[in-house]
Structure 1
Amino acid sequence: MWYDEGDTAYLYDNTGTLVSTYRSTGAGPTTVPTTVPTTAPTPVPTTTSSGTLSVTSTPGGAMVFLDGVFKGITPITLTGVPAGTHQLKVHRIGYDDYSTSVTVLPGQTVSVPVSLNPSSGPTTVPTPVPTIAPTPVPTGTGTGTLSVTSTPGGAIVFLDGVFKGITPTTLTGVPAGTHQLRVYRIGYNDYSTSVTVLPGQTVSVPVSLNPSGPTTVPTPVPTTAPITAPITAPTPVPTGTGTGTLSVTSTPGGAMVFLDGIFKGITPKTMTGVPAGTHQLRVYRSGYEEYSTSVTVLPGQTLEVPVALGVPSGPTLVPTIVPTTTPTQVPTGTGTLVITSSPTGAKVILDFSFIGYTPLTVPDVPAGPHRISIRKSMYRINSTTVMVEPGKTTTVSVTLHHIWEGINPFN
């Protein structure tokens, strides 16, 4: 079976043994024969008893397969392993595979320390930031500062998968070394790169975000008359000519407010320091039709936008968790959502809107049922419906399962 991984593919026979490596280079594909060391095939009588297998690797974070089935990431301890001989394979991108046979004895623990060797073939180099010297910096030699700006501003910044703030932002006390930076803004393509922070120095990363493809136009509200913000002159207002204030109210209250795709708070909401110009406003409350419009903010002035949310005319989707109150009543007030996942750094979608990455605390969530979807690359999507109660904190904790879990890639 061929197992493809970017520029390199691996050929396994029916027993899970790596036979050869197929690597694509600039001069054309070449096939590199791979020899897998094996241990003495001394048979061990199998019994109904089991033992424990502990696998570590240098470096860590390698994938562990036992008898062709993905078991987890090193370091890992596998309990309840049937006594007998098993085929162990340890894999990490950029390193040669390690394969061997291990014998597990009843009631005993077998420790397998693995030292992975860097692969001799070419590896994919992440796109560097041109202004940062690519010289590796040993970790543990102090801290530095990372300054991130973006065009346009107001983008979400993640460092090593952890939310750090909104651009422009300056991060102090960043451990010296190489880190993964990601900048995200709704309506624009994600920006990801590796940055190297030097001890006692400031690294500036200016990011120019590129607009993504055409966005889906929100479904209009057919059952209510369109609510129009106070009419302003249609002449575009140049950016950078000052700021104004935007005040948003809704009927009913407790709706979520998004400005240019960024969550701003719960109605009634007054936003100061809004850059003069045209912005996209979106108001959403669970159980009501979404409201979207363009608003123009003038320098030094306050723009008031009253929104009357309409009840959907079509059939309403029944949430999987039935509220304990009478279905005809709409809970009032707000609560707090605390969302965690293992592993962390998973994308959180609340009522079909992206709100951040785990671990995440979301205050002022309108009381009532909400749909939460937690997603992470190479892991299965976890979706659920939760009931937020007024004045209370609702905790959602999920364990994400790898898409390879329980799958034998050698068949």
Structure 2
Amino acid sequence: MKRSSLSVCLFLIFLLVTAGIPLAAASPTISRVSPETAPNTGDVTVTYTGSGYNEDSSVWMITCDGKSRVSGTIIRVSPTSLTARFSFRGQTLGKYNVWVNSPWTDSYGNYYPQDAERIPSGFTLYQGTGTTYTTTTTGTVTAMTTVTTSVTSGEGDNSVFFETNPGGATVFLNGNEVGTSAFTYYTNQEGVFDVVVKKTGYEDYTAKVTILEGKRVRFYALLTLLASGSTPSATTPANGTPGKIVTTIRKSTLKIPTPLGTDTPVTEESPGDPALALGAAGIAIGLVLLRRR
């Protein structure tokens, strides 16, 4: 009896497989997004890493209270990576739930538009510098107010906007301290410059920036927390001049043997003064003559 029941079950499974019943596509997953934070002053490119992405995928972010939503425009996509551009200018500050939806079609042509996944509180939008926006509501009328919160340094026609995450980092340009992020640095110089970003508790960030004539360039640095118990690999004094490396050479007291076939140099003694010798001889002769008398 048990054998017959098992045989019937196996036969039914075989019929289901041969009938070509469609299997569900793998649902999308999100293992991480990068960056995880951004200012609310412009467009930001965000990369999703995970699985189950396709050409029909869509992405968006919603504040944890569900009141604000920002949709992304997909730039490129592969089954395990998806890159999209979000416009965060003037958007609500705070934490956002990160969403992705990957519709799919089975082998019979049936279309399934909803197959979504999210990371709760996976992204944070913070107040950036430059032109920001605040919303005020009076009754049923909503007005938009523009507030300028820019910080500048230096002077000139060329400029670089230095921004770091987190902010409050000290920025050095070719070894000279130029400001604390975020700020706009003005200069008449142009070309490629070395940038070092320092902040207590974070690893030093080093990169290069190209300053263009008459242009505004943006420099963004995502800082990495120092591992527990570690110290920065390099230090820079407050004036931005790199620390000087001092090498001490100790004099060796080791005696080196003279090579074979080489005679040890002998120091010759200087001969006495002839005048002194003659004077001494004359005195001696004079004494002998006096004794004979």
TM-score normalized by the length of structure 2: 0.28
Flag the structure with larger Rg: 2
Greater share of helix: 2
